[in-house]
Structure 1
Amino acid sequence: MHHCLLPHQKTKEHRKSQPMEEEKPWALISEVGDDHGYLAELAVIVKQHFQIICYEDFLQNPELHGSKVQALLNWQHCPAVEPQLLRLLPSLKVVASGGVGVDHLDVPFINSLGVKVANTPHVVSDSTADLAMGLLLASARKIVNGHQVATDPKTIHIPKSLMGVEVTGSTIGIIGMGEIGYKIAQRSTGFEMKILYHNRTKRRAEEEQAVGATYCQSLDELLRCSDFVVITVKLTPETKGLIGSRKLSLMKPTATLVNVSRGQVVDQDALVRALKKGGILAAALDVTYPEPLPRDHPLLGLPNVIITPHIGINTCNTARRMVERMVKNAVAAVRGLPVPDEVKAQKK
């Protein structure tokens, strides 16, 4: 069910302080509720500034609302921003996407139409860093396996196979020391970990000193020395397939790979081979390619793999901050003001 028109009680004073419904600009959203929709309380945030039309309702009669829509809010990559949709939105001024990655958007093409693109880079870092540490800990200490043993009705003794890996005092190698990578480094200090990082640019000395991080100009060096390798890079043509057979062969056979960036950064076939042959100890992934994986994919059957379904940003607080930021970006674009988190096509 799609419920675009939400009952929302307001006092007379509140109604006076809000723009009249007919004065608000129009925004196209995915839906309210269901798997790809906004929670009702988040849709209310959008409705404070926009008249909203849900994607399926829009497709019923695109001529009715197409010329009115000035903002497209892209939540969990929905609705898909494709040329055929953009052609139906001649008044569109902005595609406001939730999250950091914009690899699902053809930014150069969207910009060529005179439409701005925005993301929400700063509000997702804490929750993503938290999940990265959660995956690392769950893999190292076999938490998922332990839960299965503890709840299995056939369990009568605790198997020795639940012996885990010490996290405290180990070496973590962070590939991509942007905002998320830095927050992972901050969390790692609590586990007294030795922190290595590889990045396009070296962090300032005071930033390194604050977390005790050491810069590795060579990614190969980081891979050879790390007990846990955590990937937080953006997906770009340069990072696609970054971790393949050769890179995996450099890792310790006792090392764990953690990926919270994008599935395409890792060659999954090479990863399966490394996990099966003991080239690395384990993998903990919040991202795969595709998502979800086909149900017969070999990664799903390996005992030394933990996979979560791209839930790095899935907390109520982060979702609210994301929607608020999407709306802020969209409102700025509609008003012709500078867009706080504008993403521009990179010049070649």
Structure 2
Amino acid sequence: MRKTVVAFNRVPVDLLEPYAQELEIIRLEGAGEDLNSQLDRVLPVAHGLIGGNRKFSRSQIESAKNLQIISSISVGYDNYDVNALTEQGVLLTNTPDVLTETTADLAFALILSTARRVPELDHWTKTGNWLQATGEAQFGTDVHGKTLGILGMGQIGSAIARRGHFGFGMQILYSGRSRKLDIERELSARYLSKEELLGSSDFVCPMTPLTEKTKNFIGAKEFQLMKRSAILVNVSRGPVVDEAALVQALAAGEIRAAGLDVFVKEPMATSPLFSLSNVVTVPHIGSATHETRRAMAVRAIENLLCGLAGNRPRDLVNSEAWDRRIA
């Protein structure tokens, strides 16, 4: 009997075509409530799900009686109820490593565009304000030679730090649960407490995963510790930063600027952040290049096929579900 796979988004058609003979592939189209209703109809017959940026409720998971694996085309998996999946014996996989360099590129794009006020001055120029030589009102701040603080020196954090150290001669500070001696040797990085890092950094990049402990990891207290000239860049998860406190800090001049790829609510059409000239915002595009999204899809398909074949996938998130299966 052929197993049924439901592809809900981010899966290029041509990548699944070679498996159409061995799998029953159902592709879902649409968004919002329409996609939810489609999912509700097909979940009871699905053996595998593949896609990204989709939340599944506990009731949906419990209705998927045949489900063996969800292969997520993402690194973060906070959209998924991992406990519910584990209880049901459903494997969850993600696509780490593939988007590391691409996301680090975007983080540095936000560092540069906030420091040099690129989007703001692009708009200023195009709306007819460049009538004489620029002056202090258009000045930004240097990036080269400054201090870059990474809160969570994982793979993406390390990639951002390398760009800063080797490309811009920046001093690297970092904090986290443990020291990374190899990073210290490679980048002459210094390990500090969170509080010391916030007070010493010109650019602050929180790179922690989203957990109950890291919600509002950067809030009013942290903004007060930062330099008034500091810039916050967030390409990790939106809820890591207290957005209300960030708006207040930016409006009051407690910090210089912010560059944001992620938000508490996604997507959204309006936000107090959008009205602030010292904020650069992009719509969660950390991995959004043709090359990287395709590579993520390839990795996700590999995980999916491995799980459906009864083997342990390379990028298994909930190892307890696998342990239960083989017990």
Tell whether the structures are fold-level matches, with TM greater than 0.5. Answer: yes
Shift of 1:153: 3.8
Larger displacement relative to structure 2 (155-164 or 244-253)? 155-164
Change (3 A) 1:149 1:346: farther
Q: Report how far residue 112 of structure 1 moved.
A: 0.6
Equivalent residue pairs, number: 311
Match of 1:127 among 72, 81, 102: 102
Structure 1 CA distance, aligned partners of 2:255 and 2:262? 18
Q: Which residue of 2 aligns with 1:274?
A: 249
The answer to whether structure 1 residue 319 and structure 2 residue 293 are counterparts is yes
In 2 relative to 1, CA 310–282 (structure 1 residues): closer, same or farther, beyond 3 Å?
same
How much does 1:159 deviate?
Answer: 4.1
After superposition, where does 1:69-84 map in structure 2 within 5 Å? Answer: 69-77=46-54, 80-84=55-59
1:283 aligns with one of 254, 258, 274: 258
**Residue aligning to 2:32:** none
**Contact 1:232–1:259 (Cα < 8 Å) also in 2:** yes
Q: Which residue of 2 aligns with 1:54?
A: 27
Q: CA deviation at 1:25?
A: 3.0
* 1:195 aligned counterpart, secondary structure: strand
Which of 248, 269, 278 does residue 223 from structure 2 map onto?
248
Which of 148, 165, 190 aligns to 1:172? It is: 148
1:38 aligns with 2:10: yes
Instruction: Work out whether residues 238 and 264 of structure 2, in 8 Å CA contact, stay in contact via their aligned partners in 1.
Output: yes
**Residue in structure 2 matching 1:328, options 282, 302, 317:** 302
Aligned partners of 1:98 and 1:323 also within 8 Å: yes
Query: Shift of residue 68 of structure 1?
Result: 4.2
Q: What is the DSSP-based 3-state SS (H/G/I as helix, E as strand, rest coil) of the residue aligned with 2:296? A: helix
Deviation for aligned residue 1:269:
1.0
Structure with the bigger RCO (C-alpha within 8 Å, sep 6+) is: 2
d(CA) in 2 for partners of 1:280 and 1:61?
A: 44
Does the residue aligned with 2:209 lie in a helix, a strand or coil? coil
Alpha-carbon distance change, 337 to 141 in structure 1, aligned in 2, over 3 angstroms = same
Letter paired with 1:70: H
8 Å contact 1:149–1:158 — kept in the other structure? no
Asked if 2 retains the 8 angstrom alpha-carbon contact of 1:125 and 1:183, the reply is yes
CA distance 1:88–1:145, shift in 2 (3 Å): same
- Aligned residue identity for 1:92: L
Residues 279 and 59 of structure 1: CA distance in aligned 2, closer, same or farther (over 3 Å)? closer
Contact 1:108 1:345 in 2 (8 A): no
Q: TM-score, normalised by structure 1?
A: 0.84
SS of 1:249's partner is helix
Matches within 5 A, 1:1-348: 25-30=3-8, 37-38=9-10, 42-49=12-19, 50-55=23-28, 59=37, 66=43, 68-77=45-54, 80-153=55-128, 155-160=130-135, 161-189=137-165, 190-203=167-180, 205-216=181-192, 218-295=193-270, 297-344=271-318
Q: Could you tell me how far apart the structure 1 residues matched to 2:133 and 2:207 are?
A: 35
Structure 1 pair 62–99 and aligned structure 2 pair: CA distance change class (3 A): closer
Distance apart, 1:60 and its partner CA: 5.9
- What's 2:325 paired with? none
Aligned residue identity for 1:187 = R
Contact 1:168–1:193 under 8 Å retained in 2: yes
Indicate conservation of the 8 Å contact 1:93/1:116, yes or no.
Answer: yes
In terms of fraction of residues, the more helix-rich structure is 2
- RMSD over aligned CA atoms reads 2.2
Q: What code does the residue aligned with 1:301 have?
A: S
- CA distance in 1 between counterparts of 2:56 and 2:186 reads 41
Relative to structure 1, is the Cα distance of residues 271 and 67 closer, same or farther in structure 2, using a 3 angstrom cutoff? Answer: closer
Residue 145 and residue 25 in structure 1: after superposition, are their counterparts in 2 closer, same or farther (change >3 A)?
same
> Given that residues 116 and 343 in structure 1 are in contact (C-alpha distance below 8 angstroms), is that contact kept between their aligned partners in structure 2?
yes
Say if 1:257 and 1:284, in contact at 8 Å, map to a contact too: yes
Distance 1:212 1:53, change over 3 A: same
Aligned partners of 1:305 and 1:60: how far apart in 2?
Answer: 38
Q: Which runs of 5+ in 2 are unaligned?
A: 30-34, 322-327
